[in-house]
Structure 1
């Protein structure tokens, strides 16, 4: 079971690292100070979540993932290419962040369907609730910015 839990947690670590890098990139790209502060905060939250999961993997005797996934890097690359072609509006940045949070929701939902110890499940569930709050906040901001266009 420990090997299975380590695998699940490493996938969530990669997801969190993708979120950390994605939000950091969004903070770089926005000119809006409210969004910049939000994205920087979310990037730190993702880094903290990854660190918490890495510690659990170590406690279980596993080797924790240290970076994001190839898919996350490809998403950031696509976002970068798209921004050079279309311009990087705050609405577009928020749409990309929402897409990333959709992916995180899916990964955490899948993890919670699996066989986790009660202690690990509690951590994953708490982090999942944060992902849901992030997603909803990003969606609301995207809707607000879209309505202002």
Structure 2
């Protein structure tokens, strides 16, 4: 496989995963009871959309066809399928826990891409910029999850 193909494949995989993340955040924003969480999730979705745009530009610059749809691949799809199922419970703590699980998955995908030695300098720059959003989102959702666990209402059905 040529460097061009490897680069575009890596970037498009990240794009598809980020699109799934945007959709997960948007769905969650509509289903949480706490308006603060809804605002936070919508802001994260907008930020992720900007990361997608940057990665799509890098794919185009590398001569590839940028991904513009979410993933229907097994692992990526399953990572966010649990979120969709939990969202139907309208349990804020459970929704946050599932978002954080998705963030863990996304973080792993980006860490693997950043270890990929064959990325062009332009592609690596785009991945690094998107990584800033992923890392911040992961850390924020992790802190939110742990804060929610400590402060969840007695009637919450969430357990870890």
TM-score, structure 1 length as denominator? 0.90
- SS for the counterpart of 2:133 is helix
Aligned residues: 147
Cα distance in 1 for partners of 2:107, 2:141 equals: 13
- Unpaired runs of 5+ residues, structure 1, are none
In structure 2, the partner of 1:59 is 61
Match of 2:110 among 108, 111, 115: 108
In structure 2, the partner of 1:22 is 24
Offset of residue 133 of structure 1? 1.3
Cα distance in 1 for partners of 2:30, 2:114 equals: 33
- Unpaired runs of 5+ residues, structure 2, are 153-160
Structure with a larger share of its residues in helix: 1
Larger CA deviation: 111-120 vs 20-29? 111-120
Cα distance in 2 for partners of 1:76, 1:95 equals: 12
Cα distance in 2 for partners of 1:80, 1:131 equals: 20
Cα distance in 2 for partners of 1:101, 1:79 equals: 11
TM-score, structure 2 length as denominator? 0.84
- SS for the counterpart of 1:65 is coil
In structure 2, the partner of 1:126 is 129
In structure 1, the partner of 2:139 is 136
Offset of residue 78 of structure 1? 3.5
Offset of residue 74 of structure 1? 4.1
1:80 aligns with 2:84: yes
Cα distance in 2 for partners of 1:53, 1:126 equals: 9
Cα distance in 2 for partners of 1:10, 1:110 equals: 14
